[in-house]
A and B are shown apart, each in its own frame.
Chain A
Amino acid sequence: MMAFFKLLTQSLAILLIALLSACSSIPELEDNVEKPRVKLSSVYEEKAVTNQYDDPWEGFNRRMYYFNAKADEYVLLPIVAGYKAVTPDLVEKGISNFFKNLGEFPVFINAILQGKPSVASETLGRFAVNTTVGVLGLFDVATSIGLVEQNEDFGQTLGVWGVNPGPYLVLPLLGPSSLRDAAGTSIDMFALQVVIDELGMTAEEEMFLSLLGSINTRANLPFRYYASGSAFEYERFKVLYMKYREIQIAR
């Protein structure tokens, strides 16, 4: 996990520096083009929902969105399909529960950082019950006894502390994010790493665990790039992501 984490941050930093401002999304027009007949309505443009969020890195983001779609199609989804084919549903469920249980730790920390004692104690309760009665998190016993799942991360914590999302940012493989949430994601990964270190595994075992974790994450995401079929999926998904983060933070 640590290796993966380092690799990710390094490549992210390099990519960001190299590409963020360098890529353009402005159309390169041929000589014989004619302006679209429908005029741009400045009133509409100003008020459009899709225009409420900054996207100065659009050139980079669109390329990354494309890259992610291709990576999904040729690498991630075939792996997920293979994983689902060889893993019995019950085992799949157990693995999913196991990683979810590990993920309770960052949720707990963030609930505390946001001053939400009820969410923190409920999450701690889930972790305690599922780790013991639920055999190291393989079974989700907590939900059935009324300890419901919560959703907190460091991006939300920063939001609660008043940090603005900053520009929209499409991360490699991880997808839609913002400058704030990307920072939050790396902190959460770090927190997760602390828990994994406690398990006292060898480097190879950690590698296997992080690989399995990534496959499990993708397997549980029903999202498919361009499933909407719309040419404007990029614009709409940006709004949905930003809006969704707003309601999470308001919670």
Chain B
Amino acid sequence: MRFKSIVIVLFITACSANTQPPLEVKAETCDIEYTQYQATVTGYCQEAEASLPAEIPIIEKEIALRSVASIPDVFWYSTKMKYSLVKQEEKAPLAFVIAGTGASYNSAKMISLQKTLYQQGYHVISLSSPTYSNFIINLDSSTDFPGVLEQDAKNLYRIMKKVYQQVITEDNVVATTFSLTGYSLGGAHSAYVAQLDESEQIFNFEKVVLINPPVSLYNSVNILDSYLDLKEGGPDAASTMLDDIFLRFADSYAEQESSSFSQSAIYALFRDANLSEEELKLLIGASFRMSSTDMLFALDVSYNVGGIIYKNHKINKFESITHSMYRASVITFKEYFEKVLVPWQQESDASLTREALIARLSLKNIENYLRHSDKISLVTNADDIILAKGEVEYLQDVFGLRAKIFPRGGHCGNIDRVSFVEYLNSQFQGAKQ
């Protein structure tokens, strides 16, 4: 999750004036007690890490979709849509990868997928999630309000066409065929994009792999929201618990011999902190809430919603927006759904019911397509925390032999582990065919 990467990044940046850049040593496995929550937070570190290249030639790219003048001041650093390209020397198949909720094209999980695909001989184009601030801010028209899968797929498809043109002209990429994948929400997006491609027929995807997708976005997000919903004591309890977790990390760090934060040192910190299930859930919930806070702010700024910022107010780039962060931080997805998404969608379609909208936020909406499309595979874990009761069985039923369900790994915890990467390699063989 993003929280983990932020914490790790901070640790690395904050002390690296005096330390070496991270060494490219294969991280060993950890001896933390397994739960699906632990695997979601620290990764499924009980299994060995897959052998992937330490460095790949990532080209940072950006594309202008809106005029710079139309980008709000407060997002001055976000005036173009950012994405990345990893390019093979020769002509090769090309894979698009879509990030999960609130994640960027260069999140740790994205990098891991890029390495896997690059190693298999693909050019790789990575896109941020349509829920990521930079994506929201750069959508090219005010009708593209993100958040509903079908509309997101249209936005993604249009952008995929544009960035593909850009890498042809700027980087001389020659693609033989096209494939598509994405993790978490990006998995659900991949399914909808694949369906759109059947009618648009621009890419004619050869292979589409959905990695740990939600079945019902509504269910998944409610699960994540519930992790932060500490009934007794409310915010008080959450803040006390966070403080307590922090103190245990601090104690454990004080005991450590070296002052550096290597991968094994971070595992050791987690082992010593010995987080309870409730505490791990709190970290997952808090990380998700941070993503949703960013998303709400970007939406509000772009569409002048007036929810967490002053309506009709142009935010100055030096202005304190902390109050907006506090306002957004207390909003659960359910509230956002009921108070913003439903009314907004009803404006353009008065007959739309709440239940119909929930259905639109689900893979079930395109079940028939998924059931009969041989190019699409699914990979997930039996204990993925974002799946509600019965949803693993549902996925197994819909995808049949095209489903690969690992017994362990939590939500995307095994994305860089041996058996998962082996599976992906079996699916993405483009260059070897």
Contacts and interface: CB of A to CB of B under 8 A. Distances in A.
Contacts of A221: 13, 16-17
B17 A36 contact: no
Contacts of B257: 148
A41 interface: yes
B316 A220 contact: no
A43 B308 CA distance: 17
Interface stretch (B34-42, B88-96, B210-218, B235-243): B235-243
Contacts, number: 182
Contacts of A25: 318-320
Interface string B102-114: 0010000000000
A232 B320 CA distance: 10
B310 A35 contact: yes
B79 to A, nearest CB: 11
Interface in B230-282: 234-236, 238-239, 242, 246, 249-251, 253-254, 256-260
Contacts of B6: 228, 236, 240
Interface residues of A, number: 64
B166 to A, nearest CB: 20
Interface string B283-304: 0000000100110011001000
A30 B314 contact: yes
A167 to B, nearest CB: 15
Contacts of B19: 149, 151, 220
A36 B310 contact: yes
Contact of B16 (A62, A222, A247): A222
A243 B250 CA distance: 9
Interface stretch (A4-12, A44-52, A129-137, A191-199): A44-52
Given A149-B258, A228-B6, A240-B14, A50 B312 contact: no
Nearest to A38: B327
Interface in A225-240: 225-226, 228-232, 235-237, 240
B310 A34 contact: yes
B101 interface: no
A105 B309 CA distance: 49
A212 B9 CA distance: 25
A49 B242 contact: yes
A230 B133 contact: yes
Contacts of A247: 246, 249-250, 253-254
Interface of A: 23, 25-30, 32-41, 43-45, 47-51, 58-59, 62-63, 66, 69, 96, 100, 103, 107, 140, 148-151, 217, 220-223, 225-226, 228-232, 235-237, 240-241, 243-244, 246-248, 250-251
Interface of B: 6-7, 9-22, 74-75, 77-78, 104, 128, 132-134, 234-236, 238-239, 242, 246, 249-251, 253-254, 256-260, 290, 293-294, 297-298, 301, 306-331
